[in-house]
Amino acid sequence: MRSMQAWLPVGSGDPGADGIVSVGDLERPAAERLAGPIWDYVAGGAADERTLSAATGAWAEHGLLPHSMRDVSGLTTTITLLGRSLEHPVLLAPTATHIRYHPGAELETLRGAEAAGGLLTLSSLGSVVPRSFGATAAELGAPWWMQVYLQRDRSGSYAYLDDAVAAGTEALVLTVDTPSLGARDRDRRDSFGAAQGVVFPTLAHVGGEPDPVPAHRRVWNPHLANDVTERDIGDLAERYGLPVIVKGILRADDARRAVDAGAAAVIVSNHGARNLDTAPTTARVLASVVDEVAREVPVLVDGGIRRGTDVATALCLGASAVLVGRPLIWGLATYGAAGVQHVVEILRTELEMAMALTGATSVAELDRDLLLSGR
């Protein structure tokens, strides 16, 4: 692991000065920097990566049908989400173990996110404990959410969730799509090389003995419960009195079950195409979930969002906000906090352009009438 002194950003250290104008511009430098098992882990998807290959282009397939002759001088991207006012709807998805990408780990990510007004969710497999994350967030005045992968022994999960709640998380993001990690071939070929030596401080009690099951027969992950159901939504909501956001919904009927069980919001997600190959892109199923539950709770979405037009399309389909996963890692690994900030600022700026160019002055004005699909 690189030491704090040894870590240097790529290029000049200023992504703007280095000509990074789109989110995709960061992918190659990140791939070069993280080359090997860590890049395989970040970039990879499940099995033949069919869902992954489709993810990014799927948003553009909807097409935007712009209005002209609109006064867009009063354009604003502000939203209110679960009672919290945010400058824009570009949020940062939970991703595990940021120490792999930068010695400042999630605290560095948080600084970049906060500078760009992007709400960050801390992964329960993060490299810092919720207590220190929450302390930095409080110093910065940054709102944040805590992601939860429940463990088979729920009391083990409650131990770090108690800390997260005491440290100021405004919501719990319960990931419900990962009873098994799925056939991540790249990681299996690397013999989980990317995971070697990785410590999950929230799960110190679980023990780090190597899994004796050979990779080709391994279905279960010792860190993840395989019995999570909607009962857990109610249990968490009752125990903590905080909004429970359910992450990993692809079907309207599951969204309904989640909301009926007490979900305060749902995130349409296929886990960055890392779990079930052949699952649909989120761009394809978002509308069905919106139609089922968006009148009752906010619907968020992630997966393959790389352009402001992708954000605009998701909002037109009825999402309240979007999250990005891999791009935040690209930014963190190359420029640290400045890279994370840059990613969010690019997406926000491109969203503003897309709104101006489609004639929408507020996020609420982004609706299905602006989409070519379905006409």
Ligand X SMILES: Cc1cc2nc3c(=O)[nH]c(=O)nc-3n(C[C@H](O)[C@H](O)[C@H](O)COP(=O)(O)O)c2cc1C
The residue ranges that bind ligand X (CB under 6 A) are 41-42, 55, 93-96, 123, 125, 147, 175, 247, 269, 271-272, 302-305, 324-326, 329
Q: What would the two tokens of residue 224 be?
A: 């993840």
Residue 143 or 272 with smaller CB distance to ligand X: 272
Q: What would the two tokens of residue 163 be?
A: 């800390």
Q: Distance (Å, rounded) from C-alpha 218 to C-alpha 356?
A: 50
Q: How far is the CB of 326 from ligand X (least distance, A)?
A: 4
Q: How far is the CB of 324 from ligand X (least distance, A)?
A: 5
User: Helix (H, G, I), strand (E, B), or coil: what is residue 66?
Assistant: coil
Cross-strand bridge partners of residue 324: 92
DSSP tag of 354: H
Q: How far is the CB of 173 from ligand X (least distance, A)?
A: 7
CA atoms within 13 A on the CB side of 309: 17
Residue 107 or 360 with smaller CB distance to ligand X: 107
Q: How far is the CB of 100 from ligand X (least distance, A)?
A: 9
Q: Distance (Å, rounded) from C-alpha 243 to C-alpha 236?
A: 9
Q: Distance (Å, rounded) from C-alpha 348 to C-alpha 339?
A: 14
98 is catalytic: no
Residue 100 or 365 with smaller CB distance to ligand X: 100
Residues in the chain: 375
Residue nearest to ligand X (CB): 325
Residue 64 or 329 with smaller CB distance to ligand X: 329
Q: How far is the CB of 233 from ligand X (least distance, A)?
A: 15
Q: How far is the CB of 69 from ligand X (least distance, A)?
A: 35
| Type and span of the H or E element at 157 | helix 154-166
Amino acid sitting at position 175? T
Q: Distance (Å, rounded) from C-alpha 344 to C-alpha 90?
A: 7
Q: Which of 62, 98, 223, 271 is catalytic?
A: 271
Sequential DSSP letters for 308-353: HHHHHHHHHTT-SEEEESHHHHHHHHHHTHHHHHHHHHHHHHHHHH
Neighbours of 205 (CB within 10 A): 11
Catalytic sites, residue numbers: 271
